[in-house]
Homo-oligomer: A and B are copies of this chain.
Amino acid sequence: MKDELVRALDACDGSALLSLAEDVHYADLAGFYEDLNDEERDFLLKTIGPELATDVVAELPYPLIEEALNHFKPAQLRVLLGNLSDDDRVDVFQVVSEEAQRRFFALLGPRDKELTKSLLKYDEDTAGGRMTTHCGRITADMTVKQAIAVLRRDKDNAETLSRIFVVDAEGRLVGKVRLRDLAFNTWDTPIRDIMEEALEYVLASEDQEEAARILSRYDLIVLPVVDEFHHLLGVITYDDALEILQEESTEDIEKLAAISGEHSEVSYLNTKVVVHYQRRVTWLVGLAFVSIASGYVMFRFNNLLGRAQLLSLFLPMVVAAGGNSGGQAATMVIRAMALGEIGPGNALKVAWKETRTGFFMGISLAIAIALFIVFILPRFPGSGYDFTRLAISVAVAITIQVLSATVLGAMLPLVARAIKLDPAVVSSPSLASTVDVSGMLIYFTTASAILHL
């Protein structure tokens, strides 16, 4: 399918391109669009026209939307913007430049203007900013027949009719029915008799991640969004939950690797080198300067390395073991927080669990290394060392280093959350750079004490 699209595009064969584009799912067409150059994008959009382009534009990564819309003339844009579902339209307004915002807004019809303005009130990351106002909405005093008539009128607008919400005269959420309950009951059944309580809902001001977690926890297809007076404002659907949770995972993964800034939305290959560079260089330079602290400790204790050269053999090990174990602990805690399993309130329990885990890991590592130093190392040619003392010294240092790094790694994300920072700012590299310093200090202090250097 993709090859045929490419061929039609290369041949500038508009009618072939149009008929192919009509058969392709808009998600695929959006993916195809992303990989094109400016000229090809222009030809594709002009060929398919504003109606077909509506769904494609709604699927595009945010940074590509404004440019895509600028390919259309005002009259076409008016059609396209009018066709967008209200939540997609708000997304568009949230991601384009202010200049484009004004220009696009002027093209909207009076009802869409009002609706868009009311939705733009909500922050992009809240349930309100993510919801659509299009949902099945009936009242309890209707019969099944009346309800079906109402829903049939709106059916093309409703995001999903899997759940239909029942509101009172003031528009407050009072219950829900399933479409199957309408389809399978006699037409004169009153809605009141078949509706259930709508126990799950979310406030419009709530974080969108909270909405996604509720959808996921209760396996909901549609989650109603209400204001503080319980008025039904709109719904968030299962596909939003998927998107939100995927975005969140991607952000956590990237932050854990010390990649800063928003995930670019554009696919990896379509992200420009300068953007890749920008998202990584800040942390890289920052962490490099933090490493000077480790270097300074090494510099200070350099004479120790001169006096007992074998010490250098285990310095990287002790240092790295801290970064590794701390990173493991931080990752476990950050993910458990993202999955809603723990919060700052569990800090003590987490600390106790990680103290034991860190201790056992440290001891295991210490024993393995000590055995290596006592039994394997003497077989290599070298000066006659006191291998037992060296083993004790390295073992003690590595136990302290792993234990302290594990507890620190587990606690820092909880502290970050407690002071309202994103837990994932505690990236593995920043943690590693920190415990590098402590690792050097622990190693040299232990060595000079035990080896009498």
Interchain CB contact under 8 A, A276 and B313: no
Interchain CB contact under 8 A, A428 and B257: yes
Interchain CB contact under 8 A, A313 and B298: yes
Interchain CB contact under 8 A, A349 and B269: yes
Interchain CB contact under 8 A, A284 and B321: yes
Report Cα–Cα, A404/B176, bound state, in Å: 59
Interchain CB contact under 8 A, B298 and A360: no
Across the A-B interface, give the 3 residue pairs with the lowest CB-CB distance, nearest first: A268-B336, A249-B249, A257-B331
* A359 to B: closest C-beta gap in Å: 9
**Interface positions of A from 261 to 294, Cβ below 8 Å from B:** 267-269, 273, 276-277, 280-281, 283-285, 287-289, 291-292, 294
Interchain CB contact under 8 A, B183 and A353: no
Contacts A182-B183, A241-B242, A428-B428 supplied; 15 other A-B pairs, CB < 8 Å: A155-B180, A245-B245, A245-B246, A249-B253, A258-B324, A269-B336, A269-B346, A281-B361, A283-B324, A287-B320, A287-B321, A288-B365, A289-B368, A295-B312, A302-B305
Contact with B along A326-345 (1 / 0, CB 8 A): 01101111111001011000
Report Cα–Cα, A284/B400, bound state, in Å: 15
Decide yes or no whether A385 CB sits under 8 A from chain B: no
Decide yes or no whether A36 CB sits under 8 A from chain B: no
Task: Give the copy number.
Answer: 2
* A224 to B: closest C-beta gap in Å: 15
Interchain CB contact under 8 A, B288 and A320: yes
Contact residues in B for A402 (Cβ distance below 8 Å): 284
Chain B minimum-CB-distance residue to A361: B281
* A97 to B: closest C-beta gap in Å: 26
* A37 to B: closest C-beta gap in Å: 15
Report Cα–Cα, A34/B100, bound state, in Å: 52
Q: Contacts A239-B219, A273-B356 given: A339-B259 contact, CB under 8 Å?
A: no
Decide yes or no whether A309 CB sits under 8 A from chain B: yes
Residues of chain A touching chain B, judged by Cβ–Cβ distance below 8 Å, are 25, 27, 148, 151-152, 155, 160-162, 179-180, 182-184, 199-200, 215-219, 221, 238-239, 241-243, 245-246, 249-250, 252-254, 256-259, 267-269, 273, 276-277, 280-281, 283-285, 287-289, 291-292, 294-296, 298-299, 302, 305-306, 309-310, 312-317, 319-321, 323-325, 327-328, 330-336, 339, 341-342, 346, 349-350, 353-354, 356-357, 360-361, 364-365, 368-369, 372, 398, 402, 428-429, 432-433, 436, 440
Interchain CB contact under 8 A, A27 and B369: no
* A408 to B: closest C-beta gap in Å: 15
A-B contacts, 6 of them at CB < 8 A, read: A242-B245, A268-B333, A277-B360, A283-B328, A284-B402, A289-B372
* A62 to B: closest C-beta gap in Å: 15
Report Cα–Cα, A350/B246, bound state, in Å: 22
Report Cα–Cα, A125/B294, bound state, in Å: 45
* A394 to B: closest C-beta gap in Å: 10
Q: Contacts A148-B184, A184-B155 given: A253-B324 contact, CB under 8 Å?
A: no
Contact residues in B for A292 (Cβ distance below 8 Å): 313-314, 316-317
Interchain CB contact under 8 A, A284 and B245: no
Report Cα–Cα, A312/B301, bound state, in Å: 10
Contact residues in B for A302 (Cβ distance below 8 Å): 305-306, 309, 312
Interchain CB contact under 8 A, A162 and B221: yes
Contact of A353 among B152, B273, B285 (CB under 8 A): B273
Q: Contacts A268-B336, A320-B287, A333-B268 given: A277-B429 contact, CB under 8 Å?
A: no
Report Cα–Cα, A242/B221, bound state, in Å: 11
Chain B minimum-CB-distance residue to A136: B180
The listed residue with most B CB atoms (<10 A of its CB), out of A257, A312, A364, is A257
Contact residues in B for A328 (Cβ distance below 8 Å): 257-259, 280, 283-284
Chain B minimum-CB-distance residue to A237: B219
* A375 to B: closest C-beta gap in Å: 14
Report Cα–Cα, A292/B277, bound state, in Å: 32
Contact residues in B for A152 (Cβ distance below 8 Å): 184
* A303 to B: closest C-beta gap in Å: 9
Report Cα–Cα, A280/B410, bound state, in Å: 14
Interchain CB contact under 8 A, A323 and B432: yes
Interchain CB contact under 8 A, B238 and A242: yes
